[in-house]
Amino acid sequence: MHKMKKSNLVWIVLGLLLLILIIWGLIGSSKAAEIGITCDSGIGEDGSALCWKWHTNAIGDIGNELDELFRK
């Protein structure tokens, strides 16, 4: 069986990490496109291309409170 070179393994691991970052950024950009969500860390205007960290803003907080109020 052929042994994998250490450098090949490093490139594979780096490629997988990059793929994970891109996928997470795409998920975040779709979340940040929703009303009530703000992108904190990303690429593009307001995380429109890739967004890695997001939070619920004031509008989202009001929406969540209204949802809970009417669910009861």
Q: What is the pLDDT of residues 41-56, one digit of tens each?
A: 888 877 678 999 999 9
Residue 67 falls inside a structural domain: yes
Question: Is 21 within a domain?
Answer: no
- Domain for residue 37, yes or no? yes
Number of domains in the chain: 1
DSSP 8-state class, residue 35? T
Whether the full predicted model's pTM is greater than 0.75, yes or no, is no
Predicted confidence band of residue 2 (pLDDT cuts 50, 70, 90): low
**Short-list 30, 23, 33, 28, CA closest to 52:** 28
Beta strands per DSSP E along 1-72: 37-43, 50-56
- Residues 8-31: tens digit of each pLDDT: 889 999 999 999 999 999 999 999
In a domain, 6, yes or no: no
> What's the confidence (pLDDT) of residue 48?
76
Report if residue 39 sits inside a domain.
yes
Give dist(CA 39, CA 43) in Å, integer: 9
Question: Residue 63: which domain range?
Answer: 27-72
Evaluate whether residue 50 is within a structural domain: yes
